[in-house]
Amino acid sequence: MATPFRRNFCFAAICLLLPAIAAAGENSQTGTLPITTKSRQVRQLLDEAWRLNLDEVKQAEAIEVLHKAVKVDPNFAFGHLLLSQCSLDPAEQVREQQKAFATRAHASSGERLVIDWFQNAADHKLIPAITDMNEVLSRYPHDRWVVFLANWWLTQQTQYERAVAVFERSGITDSPGLMNNTAYTYAYMRRFDRAFALMEKYVAALPKDPNPQDSYAEILRMAGHYDQAIHHYQAALAIDPQFYSSQFGIADTYSLMGDQNRARQEYQSGFKKFASLPELHRVQWQTREATTFVREEDYASADRALQAIADRAHAQAMSQVEADTYRQMAIYQPDGKQGLHLLDKAETALRQGQNAMPFAIQQEMAQVLRARVEAALKSENKKMAAATLARLATVSRNSDDKVIESAYHGAAGAALFADHKYNEAMSHLEEDINNPLSLQLLAAAYQKVGYGTEAKRVSETLANLNDPSLEQAVVVPGFRKCYQDPNCGSAFKNAALKK
Amino acid sequence: MKAWRLSLLLSIIALASTAHARQVAVIADTNNTVISVTSAELVKIFSGHTRSWPDGKPIKIILRDPSSADMELAARKLFNMTGDQARAFVRAHSDMITIADSDDAVIRFVGTTRGAIGLVDLYSLTKGVNVLKVDGKLPVEQGYFLRGN
């Protein structure tokens, strides 16, 4: 058994780092995170930011309010932290995370823990991030900001059960924003009964607000209830015709329903009506519009649409957006060599590394390498696949990031599957179950080794996946078609489609 | 719409449909000087063949109910046991193994008991305990022994 070196702690140095300003009481007994600012206006702005960001989900407006707050009090470390998490501008996300860390000496110990938690997460230091989060949660289990941040972060970590437990244990029953977020977490768990119940409460709590209708629509769509989803999106737009998310939600829903012409009409109508979308939202829905061509297997049109997004991202120095766009183009290329060419462009963009958090660049690089392994396998270049997989394994070994790890397991599973090593492939693919490409291989691997029940379960998951992503477009429609065709050699005939 | 930062991996799908991989952390009290064990040593500890730490302190084992998902994983990885076999094993060794009803309880016990060792889910970890490496790896590292579905 190995033993550690004893560490020398510089107590004096630690004391010097204590906040110069005493926080407004360390309110762990009342369960409220102490917010450190001398400005009453900043506290009011923080409340407003909650309402806008969480309850009404007007992110752009909430971000403006947070801008005001940190302008009034530039040392408002928690404000910088929130801005880093809410911002829709990658460059601002980076800047604000740095400012939160730089100003943390002005914050209460509870706020510092929150800042450390997100800094550790950003630095891929997962165990310290977890212990920071649990420390904050044990001190302030009923604080709405803490509950929101924990629910959100745990959901990102795919710790859905834990994320809902944070909400359930908080005792907070009157926060529309938390109902909304937790309903989504239940939906990711495919516990739609719970999700719908929370959505009913959310709609009732804010009857004049469009977001509850919009959220309800999205969750209905995830459950495959397309017509009801469109009805709720329309209800949201009836409340607020400027609520652009619902306009694009309708477009996404038509695309999932298979009506690509109507979907494109709705996207175009949205872009025309809402000319000044936040950049990342524009990219998201332009990508979805391009995905309509992928669903029609019109790859030339998809290429043109996505190339335009990549060009714009390049012009705006948004390296990760550019790389991610090339990566997505590579995924659907019938010719593996063309896919590899696009992935070269993705890597070039990532090397620029402009306006993106370092961790986001690393995550994207892992995704690109994973796509490269798949493209190499498609073009039967096993040597390149093996070399790229080795590169990705090194990246993954030196990181504890879930996205990077999943990318590695997805790639390793694909390579082993191609080598007919199904048992070994399964253990990797099981670690990447958020990706339809891996789910498809996993179902096939289970079938190959005779795990019929497992194959059926995974097949059902895949067949009932209603997500407007490009990966879904590449995998799920074909999977469903094969499932319904008696002449198709699919081994997944037992999967039940839920409608 | 959910209040959410667009992390910009725009195509990553939040989908929880099948079981997620778990990582079970091996924890000890913060006074314990051991920072790393091998999987073979863990087997000896949890089977009662090793009953003290290198400094002579007696080892006290605390675990969750063997039917919990984490414990089923640990039993499978350490002893190649099914859930039923693990439950029978724990019943037969009740003098040696304390069962707690939550990860929090395991952590509290380990954090306040010299010589204690326990198993908890990675995401339950707090600052009050040390996480031991297993075969040189922490739970977040690739190839960690106590990881699986």
What is the rounded average pLDDT of the residues A96-119?
Answer: 95
Identify how many contiguous H helices and E strands chain A contains and give both numbers.
Answer: 26, 0
Q: Give tens-digit pLDDT for A286-303.
A: 999 999 999 999 999 999
User: Is A363's pLDDT higher than 80?
Assistant: yes
In a domain, A22, yes or no: yes
- Single out the residue in A116, A140, A164 at which a domain terminates: A140
Q: Tell which wins on pLDDT, B95 or A6.
A: B95
Residues of B in contact with A53 (CB under 8 A): 3
One domain for residues A440 and A497 = yes
Between the alpha carbon of residue A343 and those of residues A266, B6, B13, the distances in Å are 31, 22, 21
Residues 90-119 of B with CB under 8 A from A: none
Residues of the domain holding A388: 317-417
Q: Tell which wins on pLDDT, A19 or A150.
A: A150
What is the rounded average pLDDT of the residues A265-280?
Answer: 94
One domain for residues A404 and A446 = no
Inter-chain residue contact B126 with A138, CB threshold 8 Å: yes
Give the C-alpha separation, A156 to A163, whole Å.
9
pLDDT of residue B18: 44
What is the rounded average pLDDT of the residues A336-353?
Answer: 94
Residues of A in contact with B12 (CB under 8 A): 403, 434
Domain locations along chain B: 22-148
Question: Quick one: which H or E segment has residue B28?
Answer: strand B22-29
Question: Quick one: which H or E segment has residue A274?
Answer: none
User: Is A4's pLDDT higher than 80?
Assistant: no
- Single out the residue in A81, A112, A140 at which a domain terminates: A140
Beta bridge pairs of residue B26: B119, B132
Q: Please report which confidence band the pLDDT of residue A25 belongs to, taking 50, 70 and 90 as the band edges.
A: very low
Contact (CB, 8 A) for A342 and A355 = no
pLDDT of residue A358: 79
One domain for residues A30 and A130 = yes
What is the rounded average pLDDT of the residues A448-459?
Answer: 87
Q: Please report which confidence band the pLDDT of residue A23 belongs to, taking 50, 70 and 90 as the band edges.
A: very low
User: Is B43's pLDDT higher than 70?
Assistant: yes
Question: What is the per-residue burial (b if ≥16 Cβ within 10 Å, else e) of A320-336?
Answer: bbbbbbbbbbbbbbeeb
Give the C-alpha separation, A363 to A352, whole Å.
15
Other residues' Cβ atoms within 10 Å of the Cβ of residue A454: 18
Angle A189-A191-A197 (CA atoms, 0-180°, nearest 5)? 130
Share of chain A above pLDDT 90, in %: 72
What is the rounded average pLDDT of the residues A350-360?
Answer: 80
Which range is least confidently modeled, A16-25, A41-50, A430-439, A448-457? A16-25
What is the rounded average pLDDT of the residues A78-90?
Answer: 89
Nearest CA in chain A to B7: A360
Which range is least confidently modeled, A20-29, A197-206, A424-433, A435-444? A20-29
User: Is B16's pLDDT higher than 50?
Assistant: no
Q: Please report which confidence band the pLDDT of residue A110 belongs to, taking 50, 70 and 90 as the band edges.
A: very high
Give the C-alpha separation, A490 to A481, whole Å.
10
pLDDT of residue A153: 93
What is the rounded average pLDDT of the residues B21-47?
Answer: 94
Q: Count of domains in chain A?
A: 3
Q: Please report which confidence band the pLDDT of residue A59 belongs to, taking 50, 70 and 90 as the band edges.
A: confident
Residues of A in contact with B131 (CB under 8 A): 127
- Look up the pTM and report it: 0.82
User: Is B96's pLDDT higher than 80?
Assistant: yes
What is the rounded average pLDDT of the residues A360-381?
Answer: 94
Give the C-alpha separation, A222 to A465, whole Å.
7
DSSP string, A99-153: HHHHTGGGS-HHHHHHHHHHHHHHTT-HHHHHHHHHHHHHH-TT-HHHHHHHHHH
Contact (CB, 8 A) for A345 and A317 = no
What residues contact residue A468 under an 8 Å CB cut-off, 6+ apart? A252, A255, A256, A288, A291
Chain A nearest CA to B122, separation (Å) = 8
One domain for residues A368 and A411 = yes
What is the rounded average pLDDT of the residues B23-43?
Answer: 95
Instruction: Say if residue B103 is exposed, middle or buried (CB neighbours under 10 Å; 0-12, 13-18, 19+).
Output: buried
pLDDT of residue B12: 42
Give the C-alpha separation, A64 to A217, whole Å.
27
pLDDT of residue B68: 87
User: Is A7's pLDDT higher than 50?
Assistant: no
Give the C-alpha separation, A125 to A140, whole Å.
22
Instruction: Say if residue A390 is exposed, middle or buried (CB neighbours under 10 Å; 0-12, 13-18, 19+).
Output: exposed
DSSP 3-state assignment of B36? strand
The CATH number covering residue A78 comes to 1.25.40
Give the C-alpha separation, A412 to A410, whole Å.
6
pLDDT of residue A482: 80
One domain for residues A410 and A467 = no
Other residues' Cβ atoms within 10 Å of the Cβ of residue B91: 11
User: Is A313's pLDDT higher than 70?
Assistant: yes
Round the average pLDDT of chain A to a whole number and report it.
89
pLDDT of residue A18: 33
What is the rounded average pLDDT of the residues A456-482?
Answer: 91
Chain B nearest CA to A196, separation (Å) = 14
Q: Give tens-digit pLDDT for A472-482.
A: 999 999 998 88
Q: Please report which confidence band the pLDDT of residue A407 belongs to, taking 50, 70 and 90 as the band edges.
A: very high
Give the C-alpha separation, A375 to B59, whole Å.
52
Nearest CA in chain A to B144: A397
Which of the 8 DSSP states describes residue B114?
T
- Single out the residue in A115, A140, A165 at which a domain terminates: A140
Q: Give tens-digit pLDDT for A228-242.
A: 999 999 999 999 999
pLDDT of residue A122: 86
Residues of A in contact with B2 (CB under 8 A): 57, 180-181, 184, 215, 218
**β-pairing verdict for B36-37 and B147-148:** unpaired
pLDDT of residue A8: 35
User: Is A493's pLDDT higher than 80?
Assistant: no
pLDDT of residue B14: 42
Query: Could you report how far apart the first and last alpha carbons of chain B are, in Å?
Result: 31
What is the rounded average pLDDT of the residues A342-371?
Answer: 90
One domain for residues A57 and A100 = yes
pLDDT of residue B10: 41
Alpha helices in A240-378 (DSSP H): 244-257, 260-273, 279-295, 299-315, 319-332, 336-352, 358-378
Query: Can you tell me which residue has the tokens 């769509």?
Result: A221
Round the average pLDDT of chain B to a whole number and report it.
86
Contact (CB, 8 A) for A100 and A84 = yes
Select the residue from A1, A66, A396 to test the B interface by mutation, using most B Cβ atoms within 10 A.
A1
pLDDT of residue A86: 87
Q: Tell which wins on pLDDT, A493 or A417.
A: A417
Give the C-alpha separation, B36 to A265, whole Å.
60
pLDDT of residue B59: 96
Query: Can you tell me which residue has the tokens 């859930």?
Result: B83
What residues contact residue A71 under an 8 Å CB cut-off, 6+ apart? none
Q: Give tens-digit pLDDT for A149-203.
A: 999 999 888 899 999 999 999 999 999 999 999 999 999 999 999 999 999 999 9
Does A274 lie at the interface with B, CB-CB under 8 angstroms? no
Does A156 lie at the interface with B, CB-CB under 8 angstroms? yes
Nearest CA in chain A to B135: A1
User: Is A140's pLDDT higher than 60?
Assistant: yes
Instruction: Say if residue A16 is exposed, middle or buried (CB neighbours under 10 Å; 0-12, 13-18, 19+).
Output: exposed
pLDDT of residue A20: 33
Does B56 lie at the interface with A, CB-CB under 8 angstroms? no
Other residues' Cβ atoms within 10 Å of the Cβ of residue A384: 17
Residue type, A147: V
In a domain, A405, yes or no: yes
One domain for residues A390 and A365 = yes
Query: Can you tell me which residue has the tokens 């409220």?
Result: A32
- Biggest CA-to-CA distance, chain A: 76
Measured in whole angstroms, how far is the alpha carbon of residue B132 from the centre of its chain?
10
> Which of these, A374, A388, A373, A315, lies nearest to A349 by C-alpha position?
A315
Chain B nearest CA to A21, separation (Å) = 26
> Which of these, A240, A243, A242, A213, lies nearest to A229 by C-alpha position?
A213
The CATH topology of domain B22-148 is D-Maltodextrin-Binding Protein; domain 2 (3.40.190)
